[in-house]
């Protein structure tokens, strides 16, 4: 093993020496874009980063890589995109073209940003990861609001309660309830009267005036008033219906 390792090291040393002699040593990309002061080299490093991004974007399309590998690839792509932006700024400072404005946007279009989180993008299979897919789901649209014309369709005399007694259901119920209330009041009055008689208040009972006594003139007057009220309600109902129909006609409903 030691002999093979020594041979490999010797071969590697010879290869490196040959490269040094020929001046073909592979130059490493500077860690900071500000360390580069030559425009051609800055262009070269930008192209190199674009190549690395393209390779990783092609790799992340494979959903079978596993969640952790996909997340790592997505992080690496975003890191390279930020680095590419730094080199584009440096190129502009060195007098080169403004790639942020005139450069191709193909790599940027591959990724998708989460609403409200600008800068970080998801590529390929990363967009379908658990917890990420929900971020891209759009909320359902609220139901459309009704227009004034649509609201007017349901407004008629019944809306204001002018036809509550026309169905023949409410009036009998009111009459029945009225009879029950009167019967309860009469029963209460009788009990109070018997209690007073038991106490010996006969003179007070004899002098008590019948406040419920009604003569014929008052009955006739009450009937006339009731008839007038019914006619007024009927007129108001018909007037409101006519106005509603006219409004619908004008609105084109």
Task: Give domain limits for the chain.
Answer: 26-136, 218-251
Write down the pLDDT at residue 24: 54
pTM of the model: 0.46
Give CA–CA dist 208/8, Å, rounded. 134
Write down the pLDDT at residue 251: 66
Give CA–CA dist 207/193, Å, rounded. 13
The 3-state DSSP composition of the chain as helix, strand, coil percent (nearest 5) reads 70, 5, 30
Topology (CATH) of 26-136: Helix Hairpins (1.10.287)
Mean pLDDT by 10 residues, the chain (253 residues): 60 71 68 84 88 88 87 89 87 83 60 62 83 74 82 76 71 84 88 82 53 66 80 77 73 63
Write down the pLDDT at residue 33: 81
Write down the pLDDT at residue 1: 47
């Amino acid at each position: 093993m030691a002999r093979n390792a020594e041979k490999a090291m010797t071969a590697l040393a010879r290869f490196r020496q040959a490269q040094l002699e020929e001046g073909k040593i592979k130059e490493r990309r500077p860690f900071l874009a500000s360390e580069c002061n030559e425009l051609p080299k800055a262009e070269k490093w930008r192209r190199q980063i674009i190549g690395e991004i393209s390779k990783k974007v092609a790799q992340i399309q494979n959903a079978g890589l596993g969640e952790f590998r996909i997340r790592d690839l997505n992080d690496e792509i975003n890191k390279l995109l930020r680095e590419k932006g730094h080199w584009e700024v440096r190129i502009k400072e060195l007098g080169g073209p403004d790639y942020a404005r005139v450069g191709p946007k193909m790599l940027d279009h591959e990724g998708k940003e989460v609403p409200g989180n600008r800068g970080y993008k998801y590529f390929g299979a990363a967009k379908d990861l658990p917890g990420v897919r929900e971020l891209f789901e759009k909320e359902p649209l609220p139901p459309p609001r009704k227009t004034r014309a649509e609201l007017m369709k349901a407004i008629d005399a019944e809306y204001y309660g002018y036809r509550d007694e026309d169905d023949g259901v409410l009036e009998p119920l009111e009459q029945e309830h009225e009879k029950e209330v009167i019967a309860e009041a009469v029963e209460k009055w009788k009990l109070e009267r018997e209690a007073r008689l038991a106490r010996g208040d006969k003179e007070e009972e004899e002098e008590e005036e019948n406040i419920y006594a009604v003569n014929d003139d008052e009955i006739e007057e009450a009937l006339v008033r009731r008839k007038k009220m019914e006619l007024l309600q009927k007129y108001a109902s018909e007037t409101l219906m006519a106005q509603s129909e006219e409004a619908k006609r004008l609105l084109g409903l």
